Structure 1
Amino acid sequence: MLSQRTEATQQLTDLLRTARQSLGLGCAFLTRLDGTHQTLELVDSTNPDSLRAGMSNPRENSFCQAILDGRLPPVMADVTAYPEAMKLPGAQIPWMRSFVSVPVVLSDGTVYGTFCAAGFSTDPELAPRDRALMDVLSHAASVIIEPGLREAARHAEIAARLGPVLDAGGPVVLLQPIVDLKSRVRVGAEALSRFPRAWDMPPDRCFADAHAIGEGHRLELLALRRAAAHLDRVPHYVTMNVSPATLMTRACTRLLDRFPLDRVVLELSEHEQVEDYEALKAVLAPLRARGMRLAIDDVGAGFSSLRHIVLTAPDVIKLDRSIVTGIGADPVLSVVTHSLVDLARATGAIVVAEGVETEADATALIAVGVDLGQGWLFGRAISPEELRDDYAVAVAS
C-alpha cells in the first residue's frame, strides 16, 4: 500500500523519525499485519542495511505478534532479558537489542499493523512510560493510513463491479426519442447507457467511478461504439455523450473518424471543467468539418454552460431537466428558459429540452421558442426497434 512516495508516506516517515529520535534508538518502522505475515512498509533508520521496506516474515515468528499476544511486554530495554524473545528469530539479529512495539488500530477496531522502534544496543533508559509516546504516534499513523485504505477498498469494489461490464464490451445502450415539439415527429434519438439495475446508481456515477480507477476513457469509448452500432438501425441522427477529457484522447478521435459524422451529434457534458478550450476546438474542428454537430449538455444546471457555449459555438444547446420540469406552472422557469433560447438563436444553435414529462410543460416550451424535446412524455430509452416516427399521441407513462 505504501510503496509509492506520497504525502501520506512522507507524513508516516516523519512520525517514525520522531519516534526514533525521541527514544534515542537506531531505527523505527511501520509494519502491516496481513493474514499470516508481517511486512515492513516503512523504515527510518540510521543504518540503511538494518531493515528494508518490503521485507516480510511469518507473524508467529515476530516480536510484534508476541507482544500483541501478551507473551512479551511492549517495551523491552534489553531483549536478551526475555527468554520468550530469545526463542524468536528476531533475537538472532545482532543489532536488535532493545525494542518497543504498539499496535496501529483503525477506527473500527481492526489492527492494521504495528508501530515499532528498535535499538542497536540495550537501552536502560527505555521504560514503560515510553509506550505513551508510541501510542500517540501510532494513533496519528492510523489517522493517516485509514483514508488510503478506504480509497483502496472503494477502488477494488468499483473494479470488481465494472470488470464484467468492460469485458462484455461496455454498457447496454438504448435510444430515447428526440421530437419536434410542434409536429411531434421524431427527428433523432439520444444514446443512453444503462448499467445493471442491481447497482442502483445513475449512469453519471458509473462513469465517474470508472474514471476514478483509470477506466473512464475505456468505458466511454465502449459506450460510443455501441451507440454508433445503432446508426444502421434507425434513421435521422443519434446523439452520443462524451466527456471533454475522453474526447481529447487520440483513441476517441480515431474512433469518431470511423463514424458517419453527418448523422452524429456529439454531446459534451457541462459538468466537467475544460482546461484548454483552444485544444478542445482543435480536436473538434476536423470532426465538425465532416458534418458532426456539437451539443452542450445540461445547460442551466451549473456555472460552466455559458463559457462552454461562448467558446465552442455549439450547434445544439440542451436544457437541463432542472429548468424544464414544471415550466408549465412556473413563470420564473419560463423567463430563464426564454433567455437561453434567445442566446441560442443569437449563436445559431437549436434548443433541445430534456426531461419533458407533461403536455403542460411541452406547451410552455413551445411558447418560449424551444425547438425540440425529449423526456418521458415521448418515451424512455428503448431499443431501436421500439422507436416511433410520430409522437402525436404521447407515450403512456
Structure 2
Amino acid sequence: MAALLRTARSALGLSLAFITRLDGDTQHLEVVESAFPPLFRDGSARPWHNSLCKAIADGKLPAVIPDLRRYPEAMRLPAARMPRIRSYVSVPVVLSDGTTYGTFCAAGFGADRELTRRDQALMTVLSQAAALIVEPGARQRARHDEIAARIDPVVAAGGPGIVLQPIVELATGHRIGAEALSRFPRAWGSTPDVHFAEAHEIGAGDELEVLALRRAAELLGAGGGYVAMNVSPSTLLTHECLDALSRMPLDRIVLELSEHQQVADYDLLKGALAPLRAGGLRLAVDDVGAGFSSLRHIVLTQPDVIKLDRSIVAGVAADPVLKVLVRAMADLAAATGAAVVAEGIETAADAAALGDLGVPYGQGFYFARPDDPALLRDTYTR
C-alpha cells in the first residue's frame, strides 16, 4: 500500500498521499505517505462530514482540484485552513461487491495547475490496486462486526442459555449426572461449538466460555449426581476460568476437555488442573474418537472419564469395526481407572451393544434430549 501511495505522490508531484477507511461519520487515515510526517500519521481519524473527500463524493467538488481557492465550497472546509491544503485529488476505493471502502487521495500545500483528469485516471487505477489489497481485511472486519453484533448481547446478558442432558447407567437407566449444554438463538442457524469458535475469533471466547460455566454451576441444585461442563484447553488456562472453577463445589463437577483443540503445553495444563482435581474435580476427555489427539489427551491428562464421540457410537450394534474400536476404548479406560460414557445413543440396539462391550454409561436422544433442568428424572428406561 505504501508503494502505491509513493507512486501517486511522485507521479503527481504533491506533498502527500493517503488511503482512508470510512466508518460511519469517521474517516480513518490508514496509510499515509507524506513529506511532513508530524502532520499526518497512519491510523489518525478525522470527521467525514466536513472533509474534502465527502464534498467530492457528493458531487459538490470535482475529483481533481488544482487550486482550492477557486472553489468557495472547498475553502469553507477545515482542510483549507489546517493543514492549509491547496491542491487535491480524491477517488473512491471500491470493493468487488460495489461497496465503498474509503478514498485514495493526494494533496499539496500549494496550488498545482498541472493537475488534470489524466491524474484522476492514474489515481483511479491505483485505487483499484489498493482495493485488492484492503479487501481481505475489510471482509474480515465485516465478519468480526457481524459476529460481535450477535455475541456481545449474549455476553452482556450473562452468557448463553443452558439445558441439561441426562447421563445414565446403561444397565439400569439410573441417572448419575447430566451434561450442561449451551444454547444460542435458533435463528443463528449453527451449532454451539461454531458460536464459541466465532467468539474466540473476535477475542470474546474465553469470557463466553466462563459465563457458560457459571450458568451451568447454577444448575447444580437441579438434582443429584454431577454436572458435566465443557471448556476448551486455552480457556481453562485463563485466570478468570480457574478462579470461577475454584469457587464451585468441585466434587459435583466433571470438566469435559474437548479434544478438538490442540493442547500446546500439557505440563502447564496439568499444573493448572492439579489443585482443582485435588479439591474433587473430575476430568473428562470429550469427543474421543472424533479427532487427532484422543489417545494423547488420555495418556497425558489421565482423565477420570472418557467420553466416546457419537461418530463411533451411532450404529455400533451393526458395525463390527465400531465394536472393536469401542471395546478397545473400554479396555483402555478399565486399565487406567477411567469411566466410559458413550455420547449420541439413539437406539435400544446401540445401548445394549455398548453395555455388552463394557461401556457402563451413556447419554443420547434414546434416553432424553437436552431440556429444561426442571424436567430431569432419576431414572430413564425405554
TM-score strictly above 0.5 = yes
Q: Which amino acid aligns with 1:219?
A: L
**Structure 2 runs not aligned, ≥5 long:** none
CA distance in 2, matches of 1:199, 1:44: 43
How far apart, in 2, do the equivalents of 1:288 and 1:35 lie?
Answer: 50
Q: In structure 1, list runs of 5 or more residues that go unmatched.
A: 1-11
Runs of 4+ in structure 1 displaced over 6 angstroms?
Answer: none
Residues 142-192 of structure 1 show CA distances to partners (whole Å, capped at 9, x for unaligned) of 233333333333333333323333333222222211111122222211111
Do residues 310 (structure 1) and 299 (structure 2) align? yes
8 Å Cα contact 1:61/1:88 also seen in 2: no
Q: Give the structure 2 partner of residue 295 of structure 1.
A: 284
The CA deviation at 1:193 is: 1.5
1:276 to 237, 261, 265: 265
How well do the aligned residues superpose, as a CA RMSD in angstroms?
2.7
Q: CA deviation at 1:313?
A: 0.9
SS of match in other structure, 1:129: helix
Q: Could you tell me which residue of structure 1 aligns to residue 234 of structure 2?
A: 245
Give the equivalent residue in structure 1 for 2:201: 212
| Per-residue Cα deviation, 1:332-391 (whole angstroms, up to 9, x for no partner) | 222222222232223222211100000111122123221211000110112333222222
Q: Any conservation in 2 of the 1:72–1:84 contact (CA below 8 Å)? A: no
- Evaluate the alpha carbon distance shift between residue 61 and residue 262 of structure 1 in structure 2; reply closer, same or farther with a 3 A threshold: closer
Q: Which of residues 79, 91, 108 in structure 1 aligns to 2:67?
A: 79
Moved more, 313-322 or 380-389: 380-389
Q: Deviations over 1:41-94 (max 9, x none)?
A: 4321012255455353554662x3454455655445x42695577655455679
Instruction: Answer yes or no: is 1:375 the counterpart of 2:349.
Output: no
In structure 2, what is the equivalent of residue 8 of structure 1? none
Number of aligned positions between the proteins: 380
User: What letter corresponds to residue 336 of structure 1 in structure 2?
Assistant: L
Q: TM-score, normalised by structure 1?
A: 0.85
Determine the C-alpha separation between the residues in 2 that align with 1:225 and 1:60: 48
- Report the residue type matching 2:46 in the other structure: S
Q: Match for 2:13 among 17, 20, 24?
A: 24
Deviates more, 1:325-334 or 1:311-320: 325-334
- 1:12-161 equivalences under 5 Å are 12-33=1-22, 38=27, 40-52=29-41, 54=44, 56-57=46-47, 59=49, 62=52, 64-69=53-58, 73-76=62-65, 78-79=66-67, 83=71, 87=75, 89=77, 90=79, 96-121=85-110, 126-161=115-150
How much does 1:266 deviate?
0.7
Q: Is the 8 A contact 2:74 2:80 kept in 1?
A: yes
Q: In 1, distance between residues paired with 2:221 and 2:99? A: 56
Note if 1:178 corresponds to 2:178.
no
How far apart are the structure 1 equivalents of 2:101 and 2:80? 24
Partners of 2:277 and 2:76 in 1: CA distance: 72
Please list, as runs of the form range in 1=range in 2, the aligned pairs for 1:301-340 lying within 5 A after superposition. 301-340=290-329
> Structure 1 pair 26/228, CA: closer, same or farther in 2 (3 Å)?
same
